[in-house]
Structure 1
Amino acid sequence: MNPLTGLGPFFAVDTHAADEPVRPWHPLSEVLDDGPVLRERIAQNRAVLGGDFVEVRVAASIAHLGLAARIISPALGLAVGSGAVPDYSAAWWQPKLGGAFPLSLKENPAVESDVVTAFAERVLRGPLARLDKAMAQFSLAENVRRGNVASALNGAVTVLWSERPEWTQRAAGIVGALEELPELAGTATRVGGRFRRRSCCLFYRATPDRDGPKCGDCVLA
């Protein structure tokens, strides 16, 4: 059984062999660096959120959080469910707004003896590190960027705990180890099992008065 089956759209992926997929697939790498594709996606997010009154950094943060969640979710599902970590250097996407965009990963990723180390290298220090560098160009503070990644990771493991309760202990162990790595250390707290980040994704500022609703895990909530 595919370990990602039934986990929802942010976990769902297509797979491809060594040959490159054809259009409408695009290399995921095109949206991980500061360039026209990422800038267009942020501009589209800004338009959807409300247009000119929305700060660019707010639109960038929302785009960053969505991209991080789409990258982290299937990687965590595979890591917990099968002990494998995908190689995002061979990933493909379709640039669609709204929800989880289509994503294709190379089929049959290898099972790892050290899932946490593999996840750190192939996910946190791979595509997410590239995306982090790109998002810094939009006046998005480092603590917000790191908090977005932590929030995306928590969102993913929350789904796993709900949909795959038999994975609870393994998922908690992997995520707990990831949260101690330099990329995530100090980004959030867990009190009584409740996750609260130590930064804000800025979504509340996407209103004319910049005083919209706060997310449930927000430091301002």
Structure 2
Amino acid sequence: MAMATALSESVTGLGPFFALRIHPHGTEPGGPWQPMSRPLLEERVAAVGERLAATGGRPPGSVETRVAASVAHLGLAARLISPALAAAVLHGKVLAPGLTELRWQPVIGGPIPLSLPDSALVDSPAGPPTSPPERLADELSTRLLDGSLRELADEMGEFSVSRHILWGNTASALNGAATMITTSRPDLATPTRTLTSLLLARPPLRSTTTSAAGGAFRRRSCCLIYRAAPDRKGALCGDCALAR
């Protein structure tokens, strides 16, 4: 538990999207912490849709469910992948709980509070920070991308969001996490970008991205958020496939 707590403190120091709490395996953190149940995911999609409608000056219920679900998924994927990438880069550890193991507070606005069991780290060591990045990428691909992130994609796919979009969201979240790490810690730029590139080259993220002019990151899909604006004419994200 002490090792997991120390890791969470160093990861949290990178910023709010990396913040996490650690609770003992087999216990419940209590209070406002909740399992990521289907009813709560449904409530979150509905709440995100209402927030998008209000932000765009549209009436309640006017945002397509799949648009709200995609935006909700992107935020959740970012919260799962950001601390995991940081733990791998900082400590050479794999932080990959099953979706049913983690606890969250489904607040709207800002990064979602996240609590993970200590077993998510202790049972998944990938070696010291000097471990070959290929080994870390293999571990993260198996335990995270094909673990909780695939489980999350399965859940959010029930809202009529295509897998192409969901894995594009995941790739975008990964790139966003890498950008935040390298901004906060320029000294970690090389290992962060190396590991990120290796993950993007592995299934299920392979073929989800391409490069824009100058080598900038560009996804091959769209998160659909532009459709939440009036007349579906909202601004596009900087890494969107529709951006020119």
- Normalized against structure 2, the TM-score is what? 0.83
Partner of 1:43: 46
Aligned residues: 216
| Aligned partner letter, 2:21 | D
**15, 31, 37: which is aligned to 1:23?**
31
| 1:162 and 2:171 correspond | no
After superposition, give the CA deviation of every residue in 1:86-135 in whole Å (9 maximum; x if it has no partner): 23133221121111111112348243143212211221111111111122
How far apart in 1 are the matches of 2:10 and 2:198?
Answer: 21
Structure 1 residue 39 displacement after superposition? 0.9
**190, 194, 211: which is aligned to 2:233?**
211
SS for the counterpart of 1:74 is helix
Partner of 1:98: 109
Q: Is the 8 A contact 1:3 1:82 kept in 2?
A: no
How far apart in 1 are the matches of 2:118 and 2:97?
Answer: 12
1:67-216, aligned counterparts within 5 Å? 67-89=76-98, 90-107=101-118, 109-110=121-122, 111-113=125-127, 114-191=135-212, 192-216=214-238
Structure 1 residue 174 displacement after superposition? 0.9
Partner of 2:130: none
SS for the counterpart of 1:88 is coil
Identity in percent: 47
Q: Which moved more, 1:102-111 or 1:178-187?
A: 102-111
CA RMSD of aligned residues (A): 1.6
Structure 1 residue 6 displacement after superposition? 3.0
SS for the counterpart of 1:96 is coil
| Aligned partner letter, 2:32 | P
Q: Is the 8 A contact 2:81 2:174 kept in 1?
A: yes
How far apart in 1 are the matches of 2:96 and 2:207?
Answer: 27
| Aligned partner letter, 1:131 | L
| Aligned partner letter, 2:104 | W
- Gaps in structure 2 of 5+ consecutive residues: 1-5, 54-59, 128-134
After superposition, give the CA deviation of every residue in 1:15-41 in whole Å (9 maximum; x if it has no partner): 12233312221224x2xxxx2111111
| Aligned partner letter, 1:24 | P
- Gaps in structure 1 of 5+ consecutive residues: none
Q: Is the 8 A contact 2:70 2:224 kept in 1?
A: yes
How far apart in 2 are the matches of 1:161 and 1:219?
Answer: 24
After superposition, give the CA deviation of every residue in 1:188-208 in whole Å (9 maximum; x if it has no partner): 113534101111100100012
Q: Is the 8 A contact 1:54 1:208 kept in 2?
A: no
| Aligned partner letter, 2:112 | F
Q: Is the 8 A contact 2:96 2:140 kept in 1?
A: no
- Normalized against structure 1, the TM-score is what? 0.91
Which structure has greater helix proportion?
Answer: 2
